[in-house]
């Protein structure tokens, strides 16, 4: 199937079921708030490397965490009991996103470009993206950020400054989302780390049903 080229003057996407086997659906367009919201409510997200055109993805199999199914290992439970954490929403969204970027640039390369940082900070100002930061005492231990629409959360990235900082952030996020009736955390892609914390694959049909129920 052809990869669709988006018209920059038109806020639209092709049907997500037309995505390539690897999940690539379209290229081009921009990262304006309206386009990003349309994308996420249809299971589409941007992911590309610096210097590349914007690429829009919609994998057929989706890797998600159901908030009430978050898995906390025995060792993590012990770790949490031995440490005093406090959590804060949107303490500094831009700083959290930049720390995620810096960590990835150092370890494995990143898709978080200057353009992406600007776009998601705009989403945050509009109330559609949030960050969660974890503190141990007065020290920043870790955090994460993502897009929040209706009762669906779309996780983007996380970082740790101290041992288990990102795990503590994800656990706190899942508990908060469960309390507020959220249906899922869309992890987008599989990682062993997320699988160990309760992540699982679901079919496109199941994902689409949850997406429609949560954002409709």
CATH classification of the domain holding 50: 3.30.70.3550
> pLDDT tens for residues 17-72?
999 999 999 999 999 999 999 999 999 999 998 889 999 999 999 999 999 999 99
209 and 163 housed in the same domain: yes
Q: What are the backbone angles phi and psi of residue 91, rounded to the nearest 5°?
A: -55, -50
- Please check whether residues 76 and 53 belong to one and the same domain: no
Residues 89 and 131 in one domain: yes
Q: Are 75 and 163 within one domain?
A: yes
DSSP states of 52-110:
SPPEEE--SSEEEE-GGG----HHHHHHHHHS-EEEEESS-HHHHHHHHHHHHHHHT--
Tell me: do 109 and 198 sit in the same domain: yes
The parent domain of residue 146 ranges over: 63-215
Residue 13 shares a structural domain with residue 100: no
The model's pTM: 0.93
The model's pLDDT over 116-144, given as tens digits with 9 standing for 90+, comes to 999 999 999 999 999 999 999 889 999 99
């Amino acid at each position: 199937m052809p990869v669709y080229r988006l018209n920059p003057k038109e806020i639209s996407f092709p049907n997500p079921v037309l995505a390539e086997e690897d999940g690539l659906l379209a290229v081009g367009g921009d990262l304006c708030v309206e386009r990003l919201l349309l994308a996420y409510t249809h299971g589409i997200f941007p992911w590309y490397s610096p210097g590349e055109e914007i690429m829009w993805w919609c994998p057929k199999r989706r890797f998600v965490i159901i908030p009430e199914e978050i898995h906390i290992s025995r060792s993590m439970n012990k770790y949490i009991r031995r440490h005093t954490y406090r959590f804060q929403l949107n303490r500094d969204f831009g700083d959290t996103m930049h720390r995620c970027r810096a960590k990835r640039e150092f370890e494995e390369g990143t898709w978080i470009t200057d353009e992406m940082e600007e776009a998601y900070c705009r989403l945050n100002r509009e109330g559609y993206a949030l960050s969660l930061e974890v503190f141990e005492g007065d020290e920043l231990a870790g955090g994460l950020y993502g897009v929040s629409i209706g009762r669906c959360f779309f996780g983007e990235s996380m970082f740790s400054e101290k041992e288990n900082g990102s795990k503590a952030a994800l656990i706190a996020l899942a508990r908060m989302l469960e309390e507020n009736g959220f249906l899922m955390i869309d992890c987008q892609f599989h990682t062993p780390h997320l699988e160990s914390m309760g992540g699982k694959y679901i079919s496109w049909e199941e994902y689409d049903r949850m997406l429609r129920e949560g954002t409709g």
